[in-house]
Amino acid sequence: MATMSGQARDSDVVLAVEGLSIHYEMRTATVRAVDGVDFALRDNEVLGLAGESGSGKSTLALGILRLLRAPGRVVAGSVHFGATDLLALDEAALRELRWRQFAYIPQGSMSALNPVMRLQAQFADTLTAHGERMSRAAMHARFADVLQGVGLEADLLPRFPHELSGGMRQRVCIAMALLLGPRLIIADEPTSALDVISQRVVLETLAAARKAIDASMLLIGHDMALLAQVTDRLGIMYAGRLVEMGETGTLFRDARHPYSRRLIASVPDVRARGVLHSEAMDSEPQWPLDEPLREVAPGHFVRPWGGGDGL
Amino acid sequence: MSADLLTLNDVHKSFSRGYRNRVDALQGVSLSVATERPQIITIAGESGSGKSTLGMLALGFLSPDAGELRFRGQEIAGLQGQALREFRHAVQAIFQNPFAAFNPVYPVDHVLRLTLRNFSTGAEQASSELRISDALRAMHLDPAQVLGKYPHQLSGGQLQRVMLARAFLLRPQLIIADEPVSMIDASLRAVVLANMLELKERHGISWLYITHDLSTARQISDTLLILYRGRIVEAGPMERVLDAPQHPYTQLLIQAIPRPDPTQRWQAPLDWQRDEATVAGAAATGGCAFYARCPFRMDRCLEDVPALLATPADTQAACFLHEPGAARPG
């Protein structure tokens, strides 16, 4: 049987996650936020991870980035960035990789900008914190270049964050994430705090900027319509597990797992009135999650739930 | 005086936030909810459009700075005694966060019983348990699975449907719902929308549905009003507004909405004015608030905004492009 982790040894894999489990261990209970997740992100690929609140998708991102805080803890599995075992790195080595090799764009990252520093000073900080030394003129040229990459002008550099709209601030954060030309971008709901128009502008910007530097991207979100727009492949998370993964087109056309089907069917389309079902499932259906993922077609993995077709 | 259930006529509302900091939340908004034919009227706008202020005004929780706000022809601010009671009975509210709408120390039944106690006669109260069960069943909730449960034991979708049941208990004529599904996970959202539609179709209840999400508006609305920075910029039958938007803001907004279909991806980047930051202040005084982003902006848009003008799509749009004789792009 082909497994997804088997791909991890392919040379074009940028990020390989195998059997990753992350628990929040509290005095009275243990929450298995992420439970045996496997996937491989290929070079120059945009992989989406979709899930609703509590599915474990953000915890997964934090685990990969080694940004988990107690009581969250990786209890099993491995994360490889190229040939490097991320979970085994010491802090100094990790620091070398962060930003230079992989960048993180969290939800509402625009509020992480320092309100009392001009943008150029924050850009300069990012460079020096990661050991880049260059002349002022070279720095300015670099900043202007990354700002242009997100559709902004260099004349914003002397401005303060409050002088920019939310969408512009989020684009500044993207520019900052791309400042050192990372190979991997992990973006967790990068547009969720924005208005619809800014959301499209920011997501288009992020997609184009990623393409320009040939980076790979893990895009985490709950909005299936946004994920449909920009991802190559899509994984569906439910209760800490991947229940299905495949090409984005395949999943939207031919999702197999009942949870994936429900998630995709529930997204309203502004162009068409769908069928609304008022008969809700009062008790959330529970699907067995312990069977290993099965490859039902090349690259299309489904977790058997005891339904039809041997799944 | 018209016999409309609820009318807003040229309503203005500003908020002061300290010295010299005034937000004009609504700048002359008019709409009416008819008594005879139940309708879902959607008020759609982005953050800062004034849509929640509009909801609070319509509920009588805020009073307008200027303009009229009437319930069955009477000024809401002047309602007293029995007339106020009737207003509070006939117009119900649903809010965004169902987790915050319940008192966490009581089972969810509490709010249902309280509502009946506050609004019904002694004779009606005798049958209150039956009425509560009926209202829950009308929302397709199983009373046995809901009654006695504490808020944290139910999902956001279930809690919001208990809130719909609470509103329905009083058989209102109008429910004002401010983002009722935005905090509910997508897979449960459709159920709440379906419940809203059923309340209109089976029970003749009208809705003011306040939302930022035009995709959900498509699923249930009859009439759609697009609000931008305190003004209605476009209004009309929902299908007309969404399928043939006439105001440049509505056009941009609809183009920006992602479709849940990987075969219908965005092709070219969105066409908008990218010098937004440099002209943002330009239209601050009396001009069109959309000037900074508008692909069709003209100099006169800096000075004035037209009233809602009839468009070829049988909608109304507040844009000079629809003045009789204006050359219309595209």
Task: Give yes or no for A151 touching B (CB within 8 A).
Answer: yes
User: Is residue A267 within 8 Å of residue A225, measured between CB atoms?
Assistant: yes
Rounded mean pLDDT of A142-160? 89
List pLDDT tens digits, range A98-129: 888 999 998 877 788 999 999 999 999 988 88
Question: In sequence order, what are the beta bridge partners of B15?
Answer: B23
The residue of B187, B219, B243, B265 whose CB has the most chain A CBs within 10 angstroms, and thus the best one to mutate to test that interface, is B187
Is ipTM over 0.90?
Answer: no
List pLDDT tens digits, range A13-58: 999 999 999 999 988 889 999 999 999 999 999 999 999 888 999 9
List pLDDT tens digits, range B240-249: 999 999 999 9
User: Is residue A109 within 8 Å of residue A94, measured between CB atoms?
Assistant: no
Number of Cβ within 10 Å of residue A281's Cβ equals 13
Chain B residues touching A282 at Cβ < 8 A: 140-142, 145, 158
Which of A52-61, B18-27, B185-194 is predicted with the least confidence, judged by mean pLDDT? Answer: B18-27
Rounded mean pLDDT of B53-81? 94
Of all residues in chain A, what percent carry a pLDDT higher than 70?
Answer: 94
Q: In what order do the strands lie in the sheet with A294-297?
A: A102-105, A184-188, A216-221, A46-50, A233-238, A241-247, A300-302, A294-297
Write down the pLDDT at residue A133.
Answer: 85
List pLDDT tens digits, range A227-271: 999 999 999 999 999 999 999 999 999 999 999 998 898 888 999
Q: What is the rounded average pLDDT for all residues in chain B?
A: 90
Write down the pLDDT at residue A265.
Answer: 86
Tally C-beta pairs within 8 A across A and B: 150
Rounded mean pLDDT of B210-230? 95
> CB-CB: which of B155, B261, B274 is closest to A151?
B274
The whole-angstrom distance between B83's CA and the closest CA on chain A is: 35
Sign of the four-CA dihedral A239, A241, A244, A249: positive
Peptide bond into A182 cis (omega under 30): no
Write down the pLDDT at residue A166.
Answer: 82
> CB-CB: which of B46, B193, B265 is closest to A229?
B265
The residue of A170, A200, A237, A284 whose CB has the most chain B CBs within 10 angstroms, and thus the best one to mutate to test that interface, is A200
The C-alpha atoms of residue A185 and residue A206 are separated, in whole angstroms, by 10
* Environment class of B227 (CB within 10 Å of its CB; exposed 0-12, middle 13-18, buried 19+): buried
Q: Is the pLDDT of residue B328 over 70?
A: no
Rounded mean pLDDT of B57-80? 94
Chain B residues touching A267 at Cβ < 8 A: 186, 215, 260
**DSSP symbol at A132:** -
The C-alpha atoms of residue A128 and residue A126 are separated, in whole angstroms, by 6
Write down the pLDDT at residue B279.
Answer: 58
Q: Name the residue with higher pLDDT: B117 or B273.
A: B117
> CB-CB: which of A164, A200, A266 is closest to B187?
A266
- Placement of tokens 């799509």 in the chain: B313
pLDDT bracket for residue A273 (50, 70, 90): confident
Q: Name the residue with higher pLDDT: B278 or B70.
A: B70
* Environment class of B196 (CB within 10 Å of its CB; exposed 0-12, middle 13-18, buried 19+): buried
Write down the pLDDT at residue B187.
Answer: 76
Question: In sequence order, what are the beta bridge partners of B177?
Answer: B94, B209
Q: Is the pLDDT of residue B293 over 90?
A: no
Chain A residues touching B194 at Cβ < 8 A: 276-278
User: Is residue B220 within 8 Å of residue B197, measured between CB atoms?
Assistant: yes
Extract the tokens encoding B161.
């449907």
